[in-house]
Structure 1
Amino acid sequence: MTDAEVFSHRTWAPNIFGKDRNPPPTIHPLAVPSVLTASRTIQPTAGKVVFCTGGAGTICSGQVKALVKLGADAAIISRKADVAVAKASEIAALRPGSKVLGLQGDVRSVESMKAAADETVRQLGKIDFLICGAAGNFLSSFDDLSANAFKTVIDIDLLGSFNATKACADQLKKNKGRIIYVSATLHYIGTPLQTHAASAKAGVDTLSSQMCIEYGPWGVNSNVSHRPGATAATEGLSRLSNQEGLNEGVRNIPLQRFGLVSEIADATIFLFSPAANYISGAVIPVDGGYYHINGQMHSVRYPDNVMRQGPSKI
C-alpha cells in the first residue's frame, strides 16, 4: 500500500491538513529503527533546542538544567527579564559551550510568546522541544474565590499553555518536536481549596490530548501531560502546606517521601529521548504513587495497615 493509499483511508486527514495542504508522508514502521537497536549516544538531547515557559521556577529550571547538561541549548521564558537572564546564566554554566537564552515573555499573550519563539529561532536556529510549565496557584475556598482570581489562574496555566504551543507550532511540526505539559493530579478526585488550579490543569490535560491527535501525523510525538506530585524544595510545597500537613502528606505517598526536582528532570529526559519515540498522549504522574492513594487512606492509617510483620501467606 502506498503512502497516498494509506492516507486515503484516514477520512479525518483533510480536516486537519486542509484541502490545499498535503499530509506528511507515512513512514513504514519497519523503516524506523528501534532505540534498542539503534546506536546509543551519551547525550540524547545533543543538538536540540528547548523552549520552556516558567523556566525560571524550581521545577522547570531543573528540567532545563538536565537537558542542557545532556547537550541541548535552551530558551527560558519568564515575566521578569532580569530573572530569566540570571537563571539562563546559571544554567549555561553547567556545560561549556552551551547556549541558554533568558527571555522576557508573558504567557497570557500569544503575541508575547510568538516574539519569544521568534527570538529563540533567530539566536538558536530552531525549536525542537516545548515545556509548558508556567503556572499560578494559591489556596482559596470556592466562596472566597473571585471570578478575577479564577480567570487569572486559567489565563496563566491553560491559556498560557495554548499560547506557547501556538507560538512554537510551526517549529514543532518542522522539526518533529515534542511537548511536555506540566500538569497536576488535583482534578482527578477533587481537591479542597483548588477549584481554580484543578480546573486549569484539567484543561491542560485535554490540550495535551488534542495536540497528540492533531500534531501526531506531523511527527510531533510526545504530547505528554507530565504530573509532578509533592516535590521537596519547591515554591508550591512551602507555600501551600504547613509542617503538619507535610508530615501527614508523606504518610499518604506509597514511597513514603516527597519527590525530588531531579526525578522530574529524569522523566523529562526520558520523554525527550529516543527511548520515548512511540509514547504520545500519555499521562505520566511523577508522584511516588500518590495518585493511586487518592487521599482515601487517612481512616485506615496507611501505610501501617499494609506493613504487617512476618512472611507472606501462601
Structure 2
Amino acid sequence: MNASPASYRSIFTPGLFGGQVIVVTGGGSGIGRCTAHELASLGAQVVLVGRKPEKLEAVKAEIESAGGKAATQAFDIRHEDAVRDAVRAIVAAHGRVDGLVNNAGGQYITPLADISAKGWEAVIHTNLTGGFLVARECFVQSMRSHGGAIVNIVADIWGSMPNMGHSGAARAGMVSFTETAALEWAANGVRVNAVAPGYIASSGMDHYPPEAGDMLRAMRKTVPAGRFGTEAETSAAIAFLLSPAASFISGSVLRVDGARPQVRMGWPMALPDAQARQRPAVKPYDGFHLAQTPRVFQDK
C-alpha cells in the first residue's frame, strides 16, 4: 500500500494484519469506521457490518480509495438467523474469519424509572445479545478450527452509568461474556478481550437530542486528562489486542478513558489545559485522516 497524506497514520508496523480477514460490526460510522480504516491500512481484508448498506458502501469506498481492501455485509446483529447466514456468507467469500471487532451498539438517555420493557430489551439485544451472536457464529463457523482474536467494545461502566442503565447492564454483561469466552475458547487458539472507551469525540454523540448538547460538551471537565478521547486512540487499543503483541492477553478489558473512573469527591480536579503554562498536557493522538468533529462540538 502506498503511503500518502490521505492515508491512515497508524503507529503499528505496515502489513501487521496482512492476509487476515477481520469483521468490524458497526463499521459504517464512528469508532467502527475509524477502526476499519486502520485495520485496512495495516493490510487486513476488512468486512464492514451494519444495518444500512449505503453507510457501509460509503466507508468501503473510502478504504478502497486509500488502497485498502474492504467488503460489506448488511444485516441486523439482533436476529439469530440473519447472523448465522451472514457469517456463513463471509466465510464462503473470504475463506475464514481471523478477527472480530464487536463494535455495533447504541443507547439513549433516559433514567431507569422511565425505561419501558421494550426500550430495555432493544438496548440489551443490540449491546449484548447481538454481540454474543456474532462472536458465537464467528467461533463456530471459523475460529474453532483456525483460531482468532475477538475484541468486544463495551463502555465506561465502572461504578454506574446513570441515565443509561440499560446500556450499563448490557455492557457489564458483555464484560462477563468476554471473560467466559476467553476461558471456553482458549483451547481453540481464540483470544477474547474488550475495549472500554470513555468519553470519545465520535459521531455517536450526534445521535443524542440537541438538549443534551451542554451536558456532552461539559463532560470533558470530569476527565483528569481534561479532554475527550479520539476515535484513533480507541482504534489503536483495538488493533493492539488483535495483534500478536497481545498473544498472552485474553479475558481482559482495556480502558481508554483518561482515568475518568478514578475521579473521587474530595480530590481537586486540576485540568491540564488550565495548567498549560506549568506543565504540558498529554496531546491527543489522531491518526485518522478522515476524522470528523461531532456536530455538538462545532462552533463552540
> What is the alpha-carbon distance in structure 1 between the residues aligned to residue 23 and residue 244 of structure 2?
19
Paired with 2:113 and 2:79, the residues of 1 have a C-alpha distance of 29
State the superposition RMSD in angstroms. Answer: 2.4
Aligned to 1:70: 42
Partner of 1:230: 199
Native 8 Å contact 1:110 1:167 kept in 2 = no
Contact kept, 8 Å, 2:197 with 2:255, in 1: the verdict is: yes
Matched residue, 1:57: 29
- The code of the aligned residue for 1:140 comes to T
Change (3 A) 1:79 1:175: same
Residue of structure 1 in register with 2:288 after alignment: none
Q: How far has the Cα of 1:301 moved from its partner?
A: 4.2
Q: CA deviation at 1:85?
A: 2.1
Q: Which of 164, 173, 177 is the matching residue for 2:134?
A: 164
- 1:249-291 C-alpha deviation (Å, 9 max, x unpaired): 2122121111011111111121111111111111101111112
Alignment check: 8 A CA contact 1:79 1:104 kept: yes
The 8 Å contact of residues 48 and 70 in structure 2, kept in 1 or not, is answered as yes
Q: SS of 2:168's equivalent?
A: helix
Question: Aligned partners of 2:17, 2:73: CA distance in 1, in Å?
Answer: 21
Q: Which sections of structure 2, spanning at least 5 residues, go unmatched?
A: 1-11, 279-300
The answer to whether residue 148 in structure 2 is matched with residue 177 in structure 1 is yes
* Residue ranges of structure 1 left out of the alignment (5+ in a row): 1-39
Q: Which residue of 2 aligns with 1:5?
A: none
Moved over 3 A (4+): 240-244, 304-307
Q: Look up the match of 1:266.
A: 236
Is 1:303 the counterpart of 2:274? The answer is: no
TM-score normalised by the chain length of structure 1: 0.78
> 1:144-181: per-residue Cα shift (whole Å, max 9, x none)?
11000000000111000111012211312222100000
The structure having more radius of gyration, on CA atoms, is 1
Aligned sequence identity (%): 27
Contact residue 85 and residue 103 of structure 1 kept, 8 A: no
Q: Secondary structure at the match of 2:181?
A: helix
Q: Is the 8 A contact 1:158 1:201 kept in 2?
A: yes
Map 1:164-243 → 2, pairs under 5 A: 164-170=134-140, 171-186=142-157, 188-221=158-191, 223-236=192-205, 239=208, 242-243=212-213
From 114, 117, 120, give the equivalent of 1:150: 120
What is residue 98 of structure 2 aligned with on the other side? 128
Q: Is the 8 A contact 1:107 1:161 kept in 2?
A: yes
Q: Is the 8 A contact 1:131 1:181 kept in 2?
A: yes
- 1:303 aligned partner, one-letter code: A
Q: Distance in 2 between matches of 1:237 and 1:252?
A: 20
Q: CA deviation at 1:125?
A: 1.8
SS in structure 2 of the partner of residue 302 of structure 1: coil
Alignment partners' CA distance in 2, 1:266 and 1:112? 30
Asked if the contact 2:22–2:46 (Cα under 8 Å) also holds between the matched residues in 1, the reply is yes
Inter-partner Cα distance in structure 1 for 2:13 and 2:63: 22
- Partner letter of residue 96 of structure 2? K
